[in-house]
Amino acid sequence: MTNRRKFIAGLGALATGSAAAMGTGAFNSVSANRGVSVEVADDANAFLGLNATSEYASGSGSGQLNINLDSAATTNGTGINADATTNILNVFEVVNNGNQDVGISIDEESLNTALDNGTGDSSTEQLHFFVGEPGGVTLCEYDPSAELIVGGSLDTSDSRVIGPGEVLTVGLYVTNAGSSWDVDQDITVNAYSETALINNDINT
């Protein structure tokens, strides 16, 4: 399952998506013709729900989540501070509308490549997502298979793991070193089942 979502910073822009894998049975192969019913839901009602919880996030006309750090935010400001690190709590939430525990990660490589002009220097021009307070558990730049699988199973005590019906609240921090940004990029929100992580079937 994949959800693409937009992020815009007046200095920036975001999007999201998700991926999950499930195990198979013991059959080598089976062929059978069956009907398939597929519907596309808006972000709030998709298997991986994405809901705006701040003035920096909203739904687009298509029902997709948008994150705006520019004049489109419903605030009096028009962008983030230059030469500063900005922390924003509770920007949006991820809801597990599925029927199994999943681990969450966010891939924002293309966004940060644009923000840091390709330097890869995370101390200067970067945006990252986290769980909890500023400096909390990162949702970016970690190996979910290595960190979320403990003793051969999904570590449900990790704050990046949510069960059916549970919610993960996401904050962000962005560091600007004086650049004038006009960036519109995508990020991907991934949801991984235990089977996907054990098989290392991940995107980040």
Entry pTM? 0.77
pLDDT band at 180 (very low <50, low <70, confident <90, very high): confident
DSSP secondary structure of 46-82? SSEEEEE-STTEEE-TTS-EEEEEBTTSSSS--BPPT
Q: Which of 57-61, 175-179, 186-190 has the highest mean pLDDT?
A: 186-190
Would the pLDDT of 75 be above 90?
A: no
The C-alpha atoms of residue 59 and residue 29 are separated, in whole angstroms, by 42
Residue extents of the structural domains in the chain = 5-20+42-198
How does pLDDT run across 90-140, given as a tens digit for each residue?
999 999 999 999 999 988 887 877 777 655 555 567 888 999 877 789 998
Our CA angle for 117, 143, 13, nearest 5°, is 35
Over residues 12-40, mean pLDDT: 46
pLDDT computed for residue 118 by the predictor: 56
